Amino acid sequence: GVKWYDNTVGVITNSPPYPWHMDNLRNYPRFQRNDNGREGFKYSSLGDDYSLAPQWTGSGLLGLPGDYTSPSRFVKAATLLSLAPTPATTSDAIVQVFHHMNAADIPFGIVETGH
């Protein structure tokens, strides 16, 4: 049968059940907008100090699941919703909704279910 939950994260699911997903979110406590470790990789060699600057941005989301399993898509959707700024206009809101939907979308033909 159908079960209804007080959806506090704004993400829906069919399987695993919502309480399972909420428990699973506890495994990802550190996601944030700002980059972690932007100072780069620091090390010393033969008395000299070195620092290798990072080559990309987005390290605040390092470890965010990206596969097409239901748990990974739920974590990604919940994270994106929690970090997204409030849209300033209706047009911005529509664009944001489509970006969020695309982030959890499974492209046709990528996953073969055998059905």
- Please say if the pLDDT value at position 114 is more than 80: no
pLDDT tens digit string along 73-94?
999 999 999 999 999 999 999 9
Whole-model pTM over 0.85 = no
Q: Are strands 48-52 and 41-45 parallel, antiparallel or unpaired?
A: antiparallel
Instruction: Read off the pLDDT band of 104 (50, 70, 90).
Output: confident
Distance between the two ends of the chain, CA-based, in angstroms? Answer: 23
CA-to-CA dists, residue 53 to 40, 48, 63, 105, angstroms: 4, 16, 20, 33
